[in-house]
Structure 1
């Protein structure tokens, strides 16, 4: 009897899978009167274009497909249809010239599983517009892009330098001390104060965020985004993602409860206080977007973005400066000439330090921390480059092809600060510089990140020289993995006091 039941269950499962495959094939091949989709590789039922996306990372696969199908093409991630945009001109036409039509947030299962479409980064429609407008205003009120936030970064930079001096020239991995220091900046805005570098809350936040960024940038993260329903049933590191997300959310919730107990609406201390006050003001409005889960998700979005990307960029900068010691030496010469040693570098020095500014921009271009951007979505039926994209179509913009576009950068595959310098060695902007994306979904923490990168890197190079443990030419700048992010390979270095 059990064997017969097992056979019947197996037969039923096989029939169900066959019916699903036929339905998927019908939907894939049936004509669409409303849309004129770009070309692309022919998908298989259920699997989509998995066979064309078999390389070590999806960024490489999609970049190769763009060479065959052009700068606008269609792929299927499982059964989900996605239009991919490649190259500076194409991405710019979408995100900048047609910014309203491409302003939706696309499907990203790894985050959707946790956020359920809530929070600042992964919401859509009126909720996203309201949360973005509110967040921008509050972050500005707490100094984003102003002198007051610069003072916080300089203060945190001093704590970081003190921690780095404790290495006393011995080899160490800079990953976690950089993450803790960078995270403290956004923590001071969100929670009202910085943490000691050995505070258990800060250590937990940075560890969990670092681990999640690494998993999401691995093949496991990519596979989950293609087949989320399947991976719900399979073991693997992707399962830690949601445990980690939940633990960070619990830490934020604990801080929110502390804020509620001591809230003074007339004197908000930080982002959480402002959000709680807004929640109270709109408590009777059934259509309000300000409620507890939105606060938790929005705070998590800001904490994740404010911790990981700048810390990862700084680690790439360390690797690049050790591999090219002449570049490091020239940056230090400029620091010594403009700032000298009596004070820390300040933001106003940047205008007088074109080479340093160019190096930082080139690190961001070359490292390409978020190579595929977060997915966009067209908010209406959209005519684009001779095609008609139906409302709700998800869009992947390959920022790596923007940053490596030979029409915009002379030697796109090489690290070369001259990409951001003119003939007179003055700093030169590039419209193809998009590490923070572009258009309506451009990262609202851009001004903070730019300040952090300049002030941190110049303060460190003013006090120390970065020394590799081996030969500079042996340093490998290729990413350890590439999915959501390009992750630098683990390394150690020595700091020599100057």
Structure 2
């Protein structure tokens, strides 16, 4: 009986939340509590054959600007160039707030460049651009650093992977190491070498997290992710990343990082 009461209460709260939000948003297909328009999106996706066709269908029915609910998350779609130009270019200051998923906000606590908004985001953006320019962004020095690492990696593979006068390279392994090494070299002046255990751990952790992460995780609101019900899910997704260990290792290697 208690479970039924909780479910009815949850349904009522979700319905009230959606109804209140709908009053302030552009018109769109009628959402259901909790699942939103997922059922309609799936139905028309199977019927019309693609997501693009589904959006075109909603555009014909509801106009150039319409709202779709992805679970409890309302999303407004603009399918007209003039309207998009008006909102994103001419009135960019008003519509500058960017979409940040509940998962992203939960991880970063609304901070960083990706998950933040408003004045906090503008300050971080200015700092990031200044720092990247100091690293050589937009100048030939950036290209020189990238090509330097590329030539080093090719020479290294030539020594270790030459067989019968030809170089045998697994493209995925080669470019993973090359890109990771370029990023690391630009940030802390260190490159990853072949069979580097730290690099392999980072790559494996990223692959495991992406494998555990599903599209449904994007649409969970932040408050729901903080409930005990979802704690196991977040732990499973981000368990592979031991950021504290990586930070401790870097502090040990670079005394400058010590506070």
Residue number in structure 1 paired with 2:177: 180
Task: Determine if contact 2:100/2:114 at 8 Å carries over to the other structure.
Answer: no
| Higher normalized contact order (CA 8 Å, seq sep 6+, divided by chain length) | 1
- Which of 64, 69, 75 is the matching residue for 2:58? 69
Q: Distance in 2 between matches of 1:77 and 1:112?
A: 17
Paired residue for 1:113?
106
CA contact (8 A) 2:103 2:220 kept: no
Q: Secondary structure at the match of 1:54?
A: helix
Q: 1:203 aligns with which of 200, 203, 222?
A: 200
Verify the 8 A CA contact 1:208 1:248 in the aligned structure 2: no
Q: Greater helix percent: which structure?
A: 2
Is the counterpart of residue 38 in structure 1 residue 26 in structure 2? yes
Query: C-alpha distance in 1, partners of 2:21/2:112?
Result: 36
Q: What is the RMSD of the two structures over their aligned residues, measured on CA atoms?
A: 3.5
Which runs of 5 or more structure 1 residues have no equivalent in the other structure? 1-10, 264-272, 281-498
CA distance in 1, matches of 2:8, 2:239: 34
Instruction: Look up the SS of the partner of 2:74 in the other structure.
Output: strand
Separation (CA, whole Å) in 2 of partners of 1:249 and 1:64: 45
Distance 2:81 2:155 in 1: 42
Cα offsets for 1:47-70 (capped at 9, x unmatched): 21121343899xx87533321222
Q: Find the residue that maps to 1:105 and give its secondary structure.
A: coil
Q: State the shift of 1:132 in Å.
A: 1.3
> C-alpha separation between the residues in 2 aligned to 1:92 and 1:127?
25
Unaligned runs of 5+ in 2: none
Cα gap change, 1:227 to 1:142, in 2 (>3 Å): closer
TM-score (norm 1): 0.43
Q: Identify the match of residue 52 of structure 1 among 8, 28, 40.
A: 40
Q: CA deviation at 1:98?
A: 2.9
C-alpha contact (below 8 Å) 1:139/1:189 kept by paired residues: no
- Distance (whole Å) between structure 2 residues aligned to residue 208 and residue 132 of structure 1: 28
- Quote the offset at 1:182 in angstroms: 1.0
Q: Which residue of 1 aligns with 2:238?
A: 242
Name the CA shift for 1:235/1:122 in 2 (closer, same or farther; >3 Å).
closer
C-alpha distance 227-134 of structure 1, shift in aligned 2 (>3 A)? closer
Match of 2:215 among 222, 229, 235: 222
Counterpart-to-counterpart distance in 2, 1:85 and 1:170: 50
1:331-388 Cα offsets, whole Å, 9 max, x none, are: xxxxxxxxxxxxxxxxxxxxxxxxxxxxxxxxxxxxxxxxxxxxxxxxxxxxxxxxxx
CA contact (8 A) 2:26 2:67 kept: yes
Where 1:136 maps in the other structure, the secondary structure is helix
Counterpart position of 1:27 = 17
The count of corresponding residues between Structure 1 and Structure 2 is: 245
